[in-house]
Structure 1
Amino acid sequence: MVDVLVIGSGPAALAITAALGRCGVNVIALAPQPPETPWENTYGVWGEEVDSLGMSHLLAHRWSNTVSWFGPEPLSHERDYGLFDRHRLQQHWLEQGRATGVVWQCGQATRIEHGSHQSTVSLADGSQLRARLVLDASGHQPVFVRRPDRGPVAGQAAYGIVGRFSAPPVDPSQFVLMDFRADHLAPEERQQPPTFLYAMDLGDGVFFVEETSLALAPAVPFAVLKQRLQRRLSHRGVAVQEIHHEEFCLFPMNLPLPDLDQPVVGFGGAASMVHPASGYMVGALLRRAPVLAEAMAEALADAQCPTAELARRSWRALWPQELRRKHALYQFGLEKLMRFPEEQICHFFETFFHLPNRQWYGFLTNTLPLPELVGAMLKLYGSAPWDVRWGLMEPRGREADLLTRVLTL
Structure 2
Amino acid sequence: MDFDALVVGAGPAGMIIAAALAEQGVNVGSLTASPLRQVWPNTYGIWRDELEALGLTDLLGHCWDNCVSYFGKGEVNHGRAYGLFDKVKLQNHLLAQCEAGGVTWQQGEATQIEHDHKHSIVTTGAGESIRVRVVIDASGHKPMFIQRPDQGAVAFQTAYGIVGHFSAPPVEPQQFVLQDFRSEHLSVTERATEPPTFLYAMDFGDDVYFVEETSLAMAPPVSFELLERRLHQRLAARGVQVTAVQEVERCIFPMTLPLPDLHQPVVAFGGAASMVHPASGYMVGALLRRGPGLAAAIATALQDAQAGPAEIARKAWQELWNRDRLRKYYLYRFGLEKLMRFDQGLLNQHFDTFFSLPKNQWSGFLADTLSTPELVGVMMRLFAIAPNSLRWGLLQMPGQESNLLWQSVAS
Using the TM superposition, give the Cα deviation of residue 72 of structure 1 relative to its aligned residue in structure 2, in angstroms.
5.7
Give the SS at the match of 1:336: helix
- CA distance in structure 2 between the partners assigned to 1:316 and 1:387 by the alignment: 40
Which residue in the other structure is 2:234 paired with?
232
| Alignment match, 1:129 | 130
After TM superposition, the structure 1 = structure 2 runs for residues 297-376 of structure 1, keeping only pairs within 5 Å, are 297-376=299-378
| Deviation by residue 1:153-179 (Cα, 9 ceiling, x = unmatched) | 000000001111111111011110000
1:256 lines up with 2:258 in the alignment: yes
Q: Which residue of 2 aligns with 1:8?
A: 9
Matched residues in 2 for 1:242 and 1:20: separation? 44
Match of 1:27 in 2: 28
Whole-angstrom distance in 2 between the partners of 1:261 and 1:318: 12
1:7 shift after superposition:
0.3
User: Match for residue 44 of structure 2?
Assistant: 43
User: Which residue in 2 is equivalent to 1:164?
Assistant: 165
2:407 corresponds in structure 1 to: 405
Deviations 1:118-152 (A, max 9, x none): 00011111111110000000000000011111111
Does the aligned pair in 1 maintain the 2:30–2:104 contact within 8 Å? yes
Whether the 8 Å contact between 2:72 and 2:345 is mirrored in structure 1 is no
Give the Cα separation in 1 of the matches to 2:101 and 2:308.
25
The runs of 5 or more residues in structure 2 that have no matched partner are none
Q: CA deviation at 1:73?
A: 2.3
Moved more, 212-221 or 388-397: 388-397
Task: Provide the residue aligned with 1:211 in structure 2.
Answer: 213
Shift in Å, 1:385: 1.2
Matches of 1:96 and 1:150, distance apart in 2: 38
CA distance in 2, matches of 1:95, 1:158: 32
The TM-score with structure 2 as length reference comes to: 0.99
Aligned residue pairs: how many? 409
Q: Distance in 2 between matches of 1:329 and 1:134?
A: 29
1:82 aligns with 2:83: yes
Superposed CA RMSD in Å reads 0.8
Secondary structure at 2:247 match in 1: strand
1:212 corresponds to which letter in structure 2?
T
Is residue 2:154 matched to residue 1:153?
Answer: yes
Match of 1:377 among 376, 379, 390: 379
Cα distance between partner residues in 1 of 2:139 and 2:122: 14
Q: Deviations over 1:259-292 (max 9, x none)?
A: 1110000000000000001101011011001111
Output the CA distance in 1 between the equivalents of 2:373 and 2:154.
28
SS at match of 1:162: strand
C-alpha deviation, 1:35, in angstroms: 1.6
Mapped to 2, the partners of 1:170 and 1:215 lie a distance apart of 25
In the alignment, what sits opposite 1:69? 70
Per-residue deviation, 1:407? 1.1
What amino acid is aligned across from residue 196 of structure 1 in structure 2?
F
Displacement, 1:195?
A: 0.1
Q: Aligned partners of 1:395 and 1:292: how far apart in 2?
A: 35
Deviation >2 Å, runs of 4+: none
Unaligned runs of 5+ in 1: none
What TM-score comes out, normalization by structure 1 length?
Answer: 0.99
Mapped to 1, the partners of 2:407 and 2:341 lie a distance apart of: 21
Task: State the partner residue of 1:392.
Answer: 394
The alignment status of 1:268 with 2:275, answered yes or no, reads no
Q: 1:257 & 1:382 partners in 2: Cα distance?
A: 31
Residue 290 of structure 2 corresponds to 288
Amino acid at match of 1:179: D
| Counterparts of 1:303 and 1:72, CA distance in 2 | 61
Q: Which amino acid aligns with 1:141?
A: K
Shift of the alpha carbon at 1:311?
A: 0.2
Match of 1:8, as an amino acid?
G
Task: Tell me if structure 1 keeps the 8 A contact 2:154–2:256.
Answer: yes
Question: Within 1, Cα distance between the matches of 2:375 and 2:63?
Answer: 27
**Post-superposition shift, 1:71?**
2.9
